[in-house]
Amino acid sequence: MSKYLLTIVIPFLFLGHTTLSAAKINPEIKKTFDGEKGWWWYEEEVKDPKTDEINIVTYKVSPADKLRIERQEKTNKLLQMIVIEQKENKELNKKVLKRLNYAFPNTTPIYTKNSKTGEKCLTNSSAECFVMPVIAEGQHVPVLKDFLRNPSPKNSKKWLQFQAKYFNHVNKVSHGLRFAFLKDGSDAYPIMTDYVYGDNLFNATSENMRVGREEKIIKNLKNELAYLIFLGESKVYERTTGVYENLFTTNKRFLKDMNKIFVLPSEKVRRQMDQYIVKELYEKQGKKGIYTAWKEAKIVVRPDLYNKYNIRITPTVVAFYKKEKMEKGLTQIISIGGMDLNSMRIRTIDFLEYNGIVESKERAADKNWNQLDDDAINKSLQEIPKGKTPTDFDKIKKINDEDN
């Protein structure tokens, strides 16, 4: 198609000018109109190819011929533009084809020879026509391709050398990440981190410090954050999984000062729970902490809230967050089936980070270790195995005491 088009284009590229002259030196042609005779006079400077002498040649053209010539000149210009564009497209197509061949190389030949008969056969159509398949990525690593196709000692050595170079580079990448983190901490890697400063992997101190940090974050939001704890709908589940035994934890640590409301589906359920906690857990089993927590708890009977939050299983914990000047608060079911301290803390942090209230870097190791909070330090000290000397924590405690 392109060859056919060029055969049409090329003869017309100079048609408008060959009608007037050949070997002209001035592209601008002087035109004058003879009104009496009704034709156009064209004057053009032309160089004689034999003598190099410049002569003025005059042409007489009728208005009809002039119009035809001008139309032909426009056509020639258009055809010239088409040719130029085709050349540009051809170069572009070459580049595109080159990129496609690189991205999607044909790494496996279509045909090979049958190892038994020697006849031409379709590659990998049988065991006798086997050629080691190499996926497209193999073309980007020729040393791998050569090794897979022909694992000779020479090719194997090259592959091992390449592999070692690759692993050494990856190792260097990991060192770069580590050094960047050690230099800039949570600014370089704004995410929750544990065990990053050479602390003992067999000691839960790092995790405990993070737990203390998370509890502190939640406690700092006690004026904006509240919980609705739904109970009483799944009685068998609650009694057999120790849900009521966890009631006392709602008066411990970070949950102690948080706003919490226990929501029950009916007055009947409330009487049943009162009886079970008082008679069974307190009077028979002597679990005073559970009784005290239930006695001091804020309890409401609101079956409408069960429908509003689509409560299917209890316990279910709903977190509510509303900051001053917020038109509407944020609510989210954060836990189903658990209301112990750990699940409440973890799911609350999830809720806060998901809604952009707290950034993950707030739980980075450098912030956890530098919080200098008595509660967190004491808790971490309690977790140290017996026989171990908490030298580092003594230093931290001393610094904290001096600051206060």
- Residues 357-376: pLDDT tens digits? 988 888 877 777 666 555 55
pLDDT of residue 257: 85
For tokens 């914990």, the residue is 317
User: pLDDT at position 27, please?
Assistant: 44
C-alpha gyration radius of the chain: 43
Confidence of residue 26 (pLDDT cuts 50, 70, 90): very low
Could you list the beta-strand ranges (E) of 199-351.
225-230, 259-264, 298-301, 316-321, 330-336
- For the segment 280-303, the average pLDDT, to the nearest whole number, is 85
pLDDT band at 120; cut points 50, 70, 90: very high
Instruction: Assign 352 a pLDDT band (cuts: 50, 70, 90).
Output: very high
Give me the half-sphere count of Cα atoms (radius 13 Å) on the Cβ side of residue 191: 5
Residue 264: is it exposed, middle or buried by C-beta count within 10 angstroms (0-12/13-18/19+)?
Answer: buried
Q: Kindly indicate the confidence band of residue 13, based on its pLDDT and cuts at 50, 70 and 90.
A: very low
Q: Which of 248, 360, 233, 342 is nearest to 295 (CA)?
A: 248
Residue 130 pLDDT > 80, yes or no?
Answer: yes
3 state DSSP class of 264 = strand
Return the bridge partners of 227, or none: 260, 319
So what's the architecture of 205-403 in CATH?
3-Layer(aba) Sandwich (3.40)
Q: What is the pLDDT of residues 186-228, one digit of tens each?
A: 788 887 776 666 655 555 566 777 888 888 889 999 999 999 9
| pLDDT > 70? residue 175 | yes
What share of the chain has pLDDT > 70, as a percent? 75
- Phi/psi of residue 153, nearest 5 degrees: -55, -40
pLDDT in tens, 43-54: 777 777 888 888
- For 236, phi and psi rounded to 5 degrees? -65, -45
Start-end of CATH 3.40.30 domains in the chain: 205-403
Question: Average model confidence (pLDDT) for the chain?
Answer: 77
State yes or no: pLDDT of 166 exceeds 60.
yes
Tell me how far apart the alpha carbons of residues 129 and 133 are, in angstroms, rounded to a whole number. Answer: 12
Is residue 3 pLDDT above 50, yes or no?
no
Q: What pLDDT band is residue 108 in, cutting at 50, 70 and 90? A: low
